[in-house]
Chains A and B, each alone.
Chain A
Amino acid sequence: MASLPPKHRLQQGSADAVGGSDTHHDRPRGIMRWVLTTNHKEIGTLYLLFSLLMFMIGGVFALVVRAELFQPGLQLVQPEFFNQMTTMHGLIMVFGAVMPAFVGLANWMVPLQIGAPDMALPRLNNFSFWLLPVAFTLLLSTLIMPGGAPNFGWTFYAPLSTTYAPPSTTYFILSLHIAGISSILGAINIIATILNLRAPGMRLMDMTLFVWTWLITAFLLIAVMPVLAGVVTMMLMDINFGTSFFNAAGGGDPVLFQHLFWFFGHPEVYIMILPAFGIVSVIIPTFARKRLFGYASMVYATASIAILSFMVWAHHMFVVGLPLVAELFFMYSTMLIAVPTGVKVFNWIATLFRGSITFEPAMLFAIAFVVLFTIGGFSGLMLAISPADFQYHDTYFVVAHFHYVLVPGAIFSIMAAVYYWLPKWTGHYPHLRLSQWHFWLSIIGVNLTFFPMHFSGLAGMPRRIPDYSLQFADFNMISSVGAFMFGLSQLLFVVIVFMCVRGGKKAPAKAWDGAEDLEWTVPSPAPLHTFEHPPQYRPVEH
């Protein structure tokens, strides 16, 4: 572990270039350096490595699922274990891979982009990271408990997750609590940093879109993580202390669970996509060598999406038996979200229009993001049509939809961010040829995996089944082949990152000629301490 992250040469070039100096002389060495670190760059690295590890573990679970679904019939695993795999895959990917990756990127890049010396609350930062390994060790340990791991899907609908759940569910609740605390603390830290530590002269409206989207995301996190904490606590009480919040036999209400869960869950979806919007809005202008089109609209559309995200939760519950008025309300409000989301896509394209475009790996992933996220948006629009949702609901069409927005959406944006900022982190460019291979293998793999799911879903295949009837066999076989292709090509990603840390073509401070943000004014690799004396920020004049 200690060999992987960039070894910052403490003296290198920082003092003269950014007016900083290294004041920490007796820093702990070895493993303790990482355990005790309060440096935003080191903590960012820890977050990113942790999420990469979780991405691999969650990916293995997904491959178990896809291997079982390669053919009809039960070949490799029993339904009990299959359900544990789908559940753990979802939980690990959402809470362990995507969210920590974005927090890691925020840790690294928010201070650099706003000209701050570090995060506002460095010790809290350390704490919020180290909660994560605890939470996920706890979660993964349920796999070896009697009765197995949680098996009720990542949405853990009661009463399947309460009265009928395996004994390990209490551990699952505890681990979600810990991960939730970590998220809330991380969000507080990011808000405090953005609002207080901007370089003199930098107003809110001068911030990059990445910082803006993270500011809004952080508020979403603070608003909804307590709701998740509340709902899992109610489950805890139902399971262990004899309450009946969700237990029908005791006068409880199973549908209440879904309302609470999705009141958290829908903003959660935007928590996983808004920072992606920010990343893409930073990368596309760089490689189009043209300022972002409609910056103001981008900020406003992000805010608009965030507000609307609290008004649409029950579109996940169209077939649960809502009254007609509620059904209509949530259909209309959900359709409204398409508008600001469309604005974003149009703005990216207008940024490309009449630019001077090159196709570095980061740009390839960003372009793929725009196209494939939009496809996910289209299926989202279809799902919003409540009468049609009676057919789509809980089928592979939904699986296709949310994987399009999360894999070539959120995860591609993370890949794009890594390729974009690796020169800043390590001082080296990632290997170009291998990165291109990684991109093309990933994009083919992703589409091979998830595009056929639209068809199997429309043709009537429900989600979360370990075995299916024969007419779905071809689609599933293609999906499984694609999934293994996508999964294996991520090993290439690990190799590329590893190689980049060890060496490669040297990157200058301004690694991309079209990059204009503050982080490109500090040396590459960024020294451990940057902006110890705040830079004087001069906004771009129009």
Chain B
Amino acid sequence: MRKRHVWMTAGMLLAALSSHTLAAEWNMPIGVTDVSREIYSLHMTIFWICVVIGVVVFGAMFYSLFRYRRSKGAEAAHFHEHTMVEVIWTAVPLLILVGMAIPATATLKKMYDASEADLDVMITGQQWRWHYSYLGEDVEFTSNLGTPREQITGDGERSEHYLLEVDEPLVLPVGKKVRLLLTSDDVIHSWWVPDLAVKQDAVPSFVNENWVRINEPGIYRGQCAELCGKDHAFMPVVVEAVEPEAFEAWLAERKAAAEAEASGVDREWALDELMERGEQVYGSICASCHQPDGSGLPPSFPALAGNQALMDDSALHIDTVVNGVAGTAMPAFSTTLNPVELAAVITYERNAWGNDTGEAIQPADIAEMMAE
């Protein structure tokens, strides 16, 4: 116990020393959780160990290269083994490694202890967005890239948090232990926020656990770390850490909004209303594959504009969007979108880009279909 403490202190000391010499944008962030600080100190400890070994090894090497040049008349010696020296330079690194493994093991054990959490959040990776669900609170939403397309193509001034901004951030309370449960609907993603020192793969059919207790309020940004297809670069993570009271208030507000949305299912929607809502949904969810103008990216992502098969058969269209198509990149949106959004986006697709079917798909019909 005591030994570990000594190592930790040494690590912290080195870390403190180096935080002055290395600017933040050149190094791993210290972060805002206890775990992230420990990881940072491990990182700096092993870094300085490497630096010291490097100075010794490269020093000896360059001394030899310089001192024993033949152009300076160096004659080769004839020794070619020395068991004692070899044993020493094998044993010393071994001891250093054991010394390094001890604090690393301690930190790892902390990271793996996700028990007694105050709040559970389910994080689901989807191509190419994150879905957050506050378990037991009836609050869930999808978090999409907030950077407009023009900025990516270079047609607009890039914002400060280019590619690291979302439409709806994950809001978490500070000082509470939050358990993160990660899974995926399609391919493997990896949820990463450097300041929280959480990087965990979201694997389909698995639920991975991690946890975080944020010490300071603030906005912390990260992004998907595991190659997940074409828009891998465009699925950022933004965490907004707020005081617990503010968090409760936010949660209550979200619940009320969800109820209001649910009540919209039963009423009759006008075509214009659906189109307006559908355009928003299409822009944030569908456009990355099927393109803003509905032309798609065949053969992986079929065109929607002028797609006769879908336009002739509204039931097929609804089924495709709601349940997805097995064996292709088209996911089921029944978990991502609510009936109003589904109805709106299907209506939009059936009337935009010259499709002009004039049909308005009603949220109530979708809800009824999903209930079956």
Contacts and interface: CB of A to CB of B under 8 A. Distances in A.
Interface of A: 72-75, 78-80, 83, 146-147, 151-153, 157, 159-160, 163-164, 166-167, 248-249, 252-255, 288-297, 319-321, 324, 327-328, 331-332, 335-336, 338-339, 342-343, 345-347, 349-358, 367, 370-371, 374-375, 378-379, 381-382, 385-388, 390-391, 393-395, 455, 458-460, 462-471, 542
Contacts of B234: 79, 467
B39 A374 contact: no
14 contacts: A73-B158, A146-B299, A248-B204, A248-B206, A321-B206, A331-B104, A339-B97, A343-B89, A345-B57, A346-B89, A356-B76, A382-B43, A391-B197, A470-B160
Contacts of B81: 293-297
A346 B81 CA distance: 12
A320 B47 CA distance: 24
Interface string B30-73: 00000000110011001101100110011011001100111100
Q: What 8 pairs across the A-B complex have the smallest Cβ distances?
A: A248-B205, A465-B233, A321-B208, A378-B50, A354-B77, A248-B204, A352-B64, A356-B76
Given A152-B227, A387-B108, A463-B227, 17 more contacts: A163-B327, A320-B203, A320-B208, A338-B97, A339-B94, A349-B60, A351-B80, A357-B68, A357-B70, A370-B61, A382-B43, A388-B43, A390-B200, A391-B43, A462-B224, A466-B233, A467-B233
B296 interface: no
B108 A324 contact: yes
Nearest to A287: B70
A439 to B, nearest CB: 15
A378 B54 contact: yes
A328 B222 contact: no
Contacts of A336: 97
A350 B93 CA distance: 17
Interface stretch (B130-138, B182-190, B278-286, B345-353): B182-190
Interface stretch (B161-169, B261-269, B314-322): B161-169
Interface size classification for chain B: 35 or more
Interface string B95-108: 00100110011011
A168 B43 CA distance: 41
B300 interface: yes
Given A79-B231, A336-B97, A374 B201 contact: no
Contacts of B79: 293, 354
Given A288-B76, A297-B86, A390-B111, A335 B232 contact: no
B227 A386 contact: no
Nearest to B50: A378
A332 B101 contact: yes
B230 A352 contact: no
A522 B232 CA distance: 56
A354 B57 contact: no
Contacts of B187: 157, 159-160, 163-164
B217 interface: no
Given A350-B85, A460-B29, A321 B203 contact: yes
Nearest to B204: A248
B76 A390 contact: no
B221 to A, nearest CB: 8
A331 B101 contact: yes
Given A79-B231, A378-B53, A385-B46, A468 B163 contact: yes
B90 A339 contact: yes
B326 interface: yes
A358 B72 CA distance: 10
B104 to A, nearest CB: 5
Nearest to A291: B80
Q: Which of B187, B200, B326 has the most CB of A within 10 A?
A: B187
Contacts of A335: 97, 100-101
B13 interface: no
A289 B76 CA distance: 6
B198 A254 contact: no
Contacts of A253: 205
Contacts of A355: 64, 68, 74, 76-77
B205 A319 contact: no
Interface stretch (B115-123, B148-156, B334-342): B148-156
Contacts of B89: 342-343, 346
Given A167-B299, A335-B97, A349 B112 contact: no
A343 B25 CA distance: 35
Nearest to B159: A470
B285 to A, nearest CB: 17
A357 B154 contact: no
Contacts of B46: 381-382, 385, 388
B108 A467 contact: no
A390 B39 contact: yes
A94 B350 CA distance: 48
Contacts of B160: 470
Contacts of A153: 227
Contact of A357 (B25, B50, B74, B80): B74
B273 interface: no
Contacts of A468: 163, 233
A21 to B, nearest CB: 38
A83 B227 contact: yes
A366 B166 CA distance: 49
A336 B203 CA distance: 30
A289 B326 CA distance: 66
B27 A321 contact: no
Nearest to B105: A328
A321 B205 CA distance: 12
A254 B208 CA distance: 13
B287 interface: no
B126 to A, nearest CB: 12
B329 interface: yes
A204 B205 CA distance: 51
Given A152-B227, A294-B81, A382 B50 contact: yes
Given A254-B205, A381-B50, A319 B80 contact: no
B10 interface: no
A388 B198 CA distance: 11
A516 to B, nearest CB: 12
Q: Which interface residue of A255, A351, A356 has the most chain B CB atoms within 10 A?
A: A356
Given A160-B227, A370-B61, A388-B39, A354 B90 contact: no
B28 A464 contact: no
Given A153-B227, A319-B199, A349-B60, A382 B47 contact: yes
B144 interface: no
B78 interface: yes
Contacts of A470: 158, 160, 162
A52 B197 CA distance: 42
Contacts of B186: 159, 163-164
B142 interface: no
Most-contacted residue by chain A among B77, B112, B227 (CB, 10 A): B227
Given A146-B299, A160-B229, A346-B89, A290 B54 contact: no
Nearest to B43: A388
A343 B93 CA distance: 9
A320 B227 contact: no
A370 B57 CA distance: 10
Interface string B209-234: 10000000000001111111111111
B53 A290 contact: no
B3 interface: no
B104 A386 contact: yes
B54 A374 contact: yes
B42 A166 contact: no
Nearest to B108: A387
Contacts of B75: 356
A290 B70 contact: no
Contact of B206 (A255, A352, A466): A255
Given A288-B76, A293-B80, A459 B25 contact: yes
Contacts of B100: 335, 385
A393 B111 CA distance: 16
Contacts of A332: 101
